[in-house]
Amino acid sequence: MPSGVLATRAPAKVNLTLHVLGRRPDGYHELESLVVFAGAADRLELEPGDGLSLRIEGPTAAAAGPADDNLVLRAARHLAERVAFLRMGTFRLTKNLPAAAGIGGGSSDAAAALRLLASLNGLPADDPRLFDAARRTGADVPVCLDPRARMMRGVGERIGPPLDLPPLFAVMVNPRVSVPTPEVFRRLGRVPGDLGPPDHPAVPGRISAGDLVSLLVAGGRNDLEPPAIAAEPVIGTALSRLRALDGCRLARMSGSGATVFGLFDDCRAASRAARALRVAEPSWWVKATVFR
């Protein structure tokens, strides 16, 4: 068993598509989503020891709220309820990603905590108790457990096999507004029980970046974009700004927003676009990155 400090990255989750099929009788929404992970990430360390505690630092630490309520601790407690004599310790979270931003920052941190606890306690990555604890922590946590491109269905509990997608060169933009996920779903106005049929295009196991972008443009969408823009019109402005940049092939919102992303042909085009946007909107969070 490891005894030194353990560390892992908690990458941003990006919904390249987000189809809402309808609302289940329990109020949650049934989804189909192609999920990828960005180079942009938080970092989580675990120093094994007595008890369970968390220190948060980094540029977006304040937005993550009080430590006691943090999804890292909530995930650890859910796992401790399922695994007897779970070894824990002190977590140190370096928060770089914007919070309540549609990029699953908290969910990815929670999944990272479960990975570190699994490794400290010698639990196999496919231990069902890890998945159960992830589900209990939040809808986006299961897909973040093994952060690789996949289809996610149901309310996030039906995870497809990893997809071998080409790297996508992207610019992520957060116009510094936060939109609570429940409010965006509420504004969608779906009635419980009205479930439409699945309509997401099949994503081939191997596909070129050009074909993938064409598939996303022709057959994909984010159904939460209109209600999120209604709540925070600046999201619409951020999308228009991205679309107007040289070489932007697709601009779309991730999750329930407010983060939006643009896809570009190569790393240079993405870096150039990010620089231009930072000059035009110095107060926005702008990050050139790669999605995998």
Ligand X SMILES: Nc1ncnc2c1ncn2[C@@H]1O[C@H](COP(=O)(O)OP(=O)(O)OP(=O)(O)O)[C@@H](O)[C@H]1O
> Looking at the annotation, which residues are catalytic?
13, 140
User: What's the closest the beta carbon of residue 247 comes to ligand X, in angstroms?
Assistant: 27
Would the annotation count 39 as a binding residue? no
**What mask of x and - would describe binding to ligand X in positions 172 to 191, judged by CB under 6 A?**
---------x----------
Q: Which does 185 bind (CB under 5 to 8 A by kind): ligand X, ligand CDM, none?
A: ligand CDM
Q: Which of 251, 93, 81 is nearest to 175 (CA)?
A: 251
Phi-psi region of 176 (alpha: psi -120 to 50; beta: other; left: phi over 0): left
Of 53, 90, 121, 181, the residue at the interface with ligand CDM (CB under 6 A) is 181
User: What's the closest the beta carbon of residue 43 comes to ligand X, in angstroms?
Assistant: 12
Q: Which of 108, 107, 131, 106 is nearest to 118 (CA)?
A: 131
Would the annotation count 101 as a binding residue? yes
Please, are residues 246 and 134 in contact by the beta-carbon 8 Å criterion?
no
Q: Which two tokens stand for residue 242?
A: 């991205």
Would the annotation count 236 as a binding residue? no
Would the annotation count 99 as a binding residue? yes
Of 22, 39, 58, 65, the residue at the interface with ligand X (CB under 6 A) is 65
Q: Does 154 bind ligand X (CB under 6 A)?
A: no
User: Given the complex with ligand CDM, which of 135 and 176 has the nearer CB atom?
Assistant: 135
User: Given the complex with ligand CDM, which of 111 and 277 has the nearer CB atom?
Assistant: 111
Q: Does 237 bind ligand CDM (CB under 6 A)?
A: no
Pairing of strands 29-49, 150-154: antiparallel
Cα–chain-centroid distance for residue 205?
A: 22
Alpha helices (H) in 34-172, listed in sequence order: 71-82, 105-121, 128-137, 141-144
Would the annotation count 254 as a binding residue? no
Q: Which two tokens stand for residue 79?
A: 């796992």
The C-alpha torsion from 230 through 232 and 238 to 244, rounded to 10°, is 30
Size of the site for ligand X (CB under 6 A): 19
Residues in contact with ligand CDM by CB under 6 A are 15, 18, 28-29, 31, 33, 102, 104, 107, 138-140, 155-156, 181-182, 185, 255-256
